[in-house]
Chains A and B, each alone.
Chain A
Amino acid sequence: MTRRTRRTRRTRPPLRSLFELPRRIGWRDHAIGAAVALVYAIWLGLTARSLGFPRDEGVYFRAGTDYVTWLHALWEHGQDALKQGAIDSAWSYNHEHPALMKTLFGLSWWFLHEQWHVVSDASTAYRIPAMAVAGGGLWITYLFGARAFSRRAGLVAAALLGLMPRVFFHAHLACFDVPIMTMWILCVYVHWRAQETRSLGWAIAAGLVFGLALETKHNAWILPAVLVPHALFVQRREIVHALRAGRVSIPTSLVSMAVLGPIVFLALWPYLWNDTLARIEWWVEFHLNHEYYNIEFLGRNYFGPPSPKSYLPVMVLATVPTVTLVLFAVGATDRVAVTVRRLVAWARSLGSKGSSGNRPAGDAGGDNERAERPPRDRRETDLLLALSFAVAIGPFFLPKTPIFGGTKHWLPAYPALALFAGHGFDRIVLAMRRALPDLAGARARWAEGVLVLTVIAAPLAITVHSHPFGLSSYVPIVGGTAGGATLGLNRQFWGYTTQDAAAEYLNAKAPRGATVFFDDTTWDAWGRMQEEGRVRGDLRGAGAPHEAQFALVQHELHMSEVDYSIWTALGTVNPVYVVAHDGVPIVSIYRKP
């Protein structure tokens, strides 16, 4: 061997080793998760401008501004800002939702748009925290999957989560639905780590994160239904042991959640600093007795209880890519099978304990049973993920639960769904290896890569194609957007598609200074679209169809009454233009003859 060759071997490690990750999940996995998050957030950022503003988003823009104005006052005037009058004047607006995300929206707007001029659209600046948090949701999902199953499972899970068209749509918005999805899975993950490590640090983290989840959206109220039974089950032996010793043992993470959670929650929501109990009571009452809005399901307009029990299953089937659901079924079935084997082994062990007195010494039966028994997961991951999924969707089978939010209200269930799907992908890879035992080395890796592409391609294509009509888009198994319309599934809500009407017609065709009735879009949203050049600035909003030269109707079943009012008010039934997605009407534009 020549000197040169020896030097080369010393200085250049094999190329493959650079890409080989250690078995242990660590900082490199955070780097992978962060990269996934970054790519997703950038994608969201690049597509944000083509998405209009739904009604609720305009409210949160304004709330964010109010909250930051108060923070400004606190910075400049100190004590004066802490008086109830000052707090209430800023924080009373939209006090039906906690303040964490709205405060972040406001801070992002203040720094990135107002102060540093990094982001030209104020709306994008408001949206950045939500988009970043959406990326964070994928990061955690990857990490969870990598630790629970495999890196491949984690990566596929993160990808499938991000490539759900509805997740992609809501991830753009300065709202709380994707943030609570992220906070939910973060809470579940941190809790899981706390059970695994039993360390004080993770327990404290569990409390803090639970507080942040409470401060994000009220879905967090039901998180204890996931975490408490799981913690009690994981630590059942310690708890029973302590009880036998006359002590009560409560998992530290639960204590932390019970103590730190409310502290974080209250600390971050100044509106609750005065009249605390009364205001919390109002908040709870508001959501327990929430107004019902209109929503179409299977051709019928629902506007009150009872909500149809089939709503969630049908909507999941119609909006989550089918390949994702099939992978979920494969993964979940496998985990159920493992659980059943564990239960059977456990039942046998009970039986063998009972009959151990009759067993001859040296009987090998015990060894055989151990060999059949699946490896025990001390973290009880299957139980946790199953609870995370079931608890998040559970309320939507209750007749009183409003369904007006479409799928957005059960987004917290989707990371668990994606994780099971990631595990399902692992099973598919395993099956491929069994079917093709000769496949090895680079060829095996190529085959796995192709397999990844085959399960990612459809969700990617559907998600890309759905934008900006994410709420109108349905998956191919129900016939796509047209199939969803034929089934009578909701096509959109809260007037965000007016921007598309402007982009496709009004900006080019409306005469200067024309008046426009924009139906379900809020005045705040209209004004902001004009400020940001999405709608021509000279166009004037009109409060009613008869006051307008142009009248829009965003197609939802119950909006038909507005459509017919326009017919009478403008004297025509013929739109001059119809914004459509895959040939399905989204917005009709009428012009006064």
Chain B
Amino acid sequence: MPAVGLLELGAHLVQAHSVVHESDWKSARDFVVGASQPDDLVTFAPRWVDPIGRQEFGPDVATLQREARPDESRFPRAFEVSIHGAHDPTLDGWRRTEERSFGRVTVATLENPSPVHVLDDLVAFVGPQRMQVSRLDGDHATECAFAHGSPVSGGLGAGPAVPGDRFACPNGGFVAASVAADLAYRPRRCIYAPPQGGKSVLRVRFLGVRLGRTLHGHHGIYVEAERNRTGAPVTLTFKVGDTVVGSVVHNDGDGWKPFEFDTSSLLNSTSATGRADVVAEIESPSGDRRVYCFEADTQ
């Protein structure tokens, strides 16, 4: 029994004194700043240490694009900054090429075995230059103007914040780039586009998108609405010209649901530049608690 007590005491003292020193974080950061490229992923493990990682690595390294990535497929390489021997499970299957220790922080360099080349990220299109938003009621289309205002946010239960820069529809609807928590409470940078409900269709037109062989993306609903599984399904349909590229339905509980459509047949029919306007139409039988968000890219 004394051994149990003393062992527990010893383990407690070791654990309480195993905190990572700030100098270790700084050394790891300096290494990653020097070694990483803009298209590399930088991730922190275990997941709970992410806030400290974001603080210590700062806005140049711990960026919104890396933190709230739709998935890892677009990153050719990753720097996994970890403590306590943790590993980011989303990088399982990646090839570990290098590992450096900085005190209690380990930085592993991993290579993506099959990175995809993103031509255009549609979330980056959000803005008056490259995107148009309208609401369709039958044949009648109402333009949703781009506006600069104050962000709108709240506490728990308020849903994702609406940024100051957004398309505002006359009836109060809006479309903007935001960050939503998916069903696993991971951050997802996406286009916040709540359907209007009924027969109304929210139409988002992305101008001059470089098309590739696939249109790939994810969609989800604000976690608190999604987890209750009482809401109406949301349908997202992509079109290029009159051609329906694909349609996907999100039901509550689906989480951050991936989709992928083959666009190779469109490559010949688009302009010589390989660009075309891509239209996303969002609709749902009910707009109640349909705090919907999607992201897509061309590959």
The complex places the Cα of A544 from the Cα of B154 at a distance, in Å, of 5
Q: Encode contact with B along A530-569: 1 for CB under 8 Å, 0 otherwise.
A: 0000000000000111100000000101111111111111
Q: Are B8 and A573 closer than 8 Å at their CB atoms? A: no
Does B38 touch A at the CB level, under 8 Å?
no
The complex places the Cα of A17 from the Cα of B6 at a distance, in Å, of 33
In the complex, which residues of chain B have a beta carbon less than 8 angstroms from the beta carbon of A482? 15, 18, 84
Q: Encode contact with A along B155-188: 1 for CB under 8 Å, 0 otherwise.
A: 1101111110000000000000011110001110
In the complex, which residues of chain A have a beta carbon less than 8 angstroms from the beta carbon of B84? 482, 486
In the complex, which residues of chain B have a beta carbon less than 8 angstroms from the beta carbon of A575? 51, 54-55
Given A476-B15, A546-B161, A564-B68, are A327 and B46 neighbors across the interface (CB < 8 Å)? no
Q: Are B4 and A326 closer than 8 Å at their CB atoms? A: yes
Instruction: Please report B residues at the A interface, Cβ cutoff 8 Å.
Output: 1-2, 4-6, 8-9, 11-13, 15-16, 18-20, 46, 48-52, 54-55, 57-59, 62-64, 67-68, 83-84, 86, 150-156, 158-163, 178-181, 185-187, 222-224, 227
Does A174 touch B at the CB level, under 8 Å?
no
In the complex, which residues of chain B have a beta carbon less than 8 angstroms from the beta carbon of A461? 9, 12-13
Q: Which of A520, A560, A568, A578 interacts with B151 by CB under 8 Å?
A: A568
In the complex, which residues of chain A have a beta carbon less than 8 angstroms from the beta carbon of B153? 544-546, 565-566, 568-569
Q: Which of A330, A486, A568 interacts with B178 by CB under 8 Å?
A: A568
| A:496-514 near B, CB below 8 Å | none
> How near does chain A come to B2, taking the closest CB pair, in angstroms?
4
Q: Are B46 and A485 closer than 8 Å at their CB atoms? A: yes
Q: Which of B20, B86, B156, B222 interacts with A520 by CB under 8 Å?
A: B156
Given A326-B4, A544-B155, are A561 and B55 neighbors across the interface (CB < 8 Å)? no
Given A323-B4, A476-B15, are A583 and B224 neighbors across the interface (CB < 8 Å)? no
Q: Are A485 and B48 closer than 8 Å at their CB atoms? A: yes
Binds B, one of A213-221, A335-343, A452-460: A452-460
Q: Are B187 and A567 closer than 8 Å at their CB atoms? A: yes
Top 3 A-B residue pairs of the complex, sorted by shortest distance between their CB atoms: A480-B15, A476-B11, A568-B161
In the complex, which residues of chain B have a beta carbon less than 8 angstroms from the beta carbon of A154? none
Q: Are A303 and B227 closer than 8 Å at their CB atoms? A: yes
Q: Are B19 and A582 closer than 8 Å at their CB atoms? A: yes
Interface of B is mostly: mixed
Q: Which residue of B lies closest to A451 (CB)?
A: B2
> How near does chain A come to B85, taking the closest CB pair, in angstroms?
10
> How near does chain A come to B19, taking the closest CB pair, in angstroms?
4
Does A211 touch B at the CB level, under 8 Å?
no
Q: Which of A326, A483, A574, A576 interacts with B1 by CB under 8 Å?
A: A326
Q: Are B12 and A480 closer than 8 Å at their CB atoms? A: yes
11 contacts between A and B (CB under 8 A): A322-B4, A428-B1, A457-B9, A461-B13, A475-B8, A519-B155, A545-B153, A546-B153, A575-B55, A583-B19, A583-B83
Q: Are A322 and B179 closer than 8 Å at their CB atoms? A: no
Does A33 touch B at the CB level, under 8 Å?
no
Q: Which residue of B lies closest to A327 (CB)?
A: B1
Does A584 touch B at the CB level, under 8 Å?
yes
In the complex, which residues of chain B have a beta carbon less than 8 angstroms from the beta carbon of A476? 8, 11-12, 15
Given A322-B4, A568-B163, are A546 and B16 neighbors across the interface (CB < 8 Å)? no
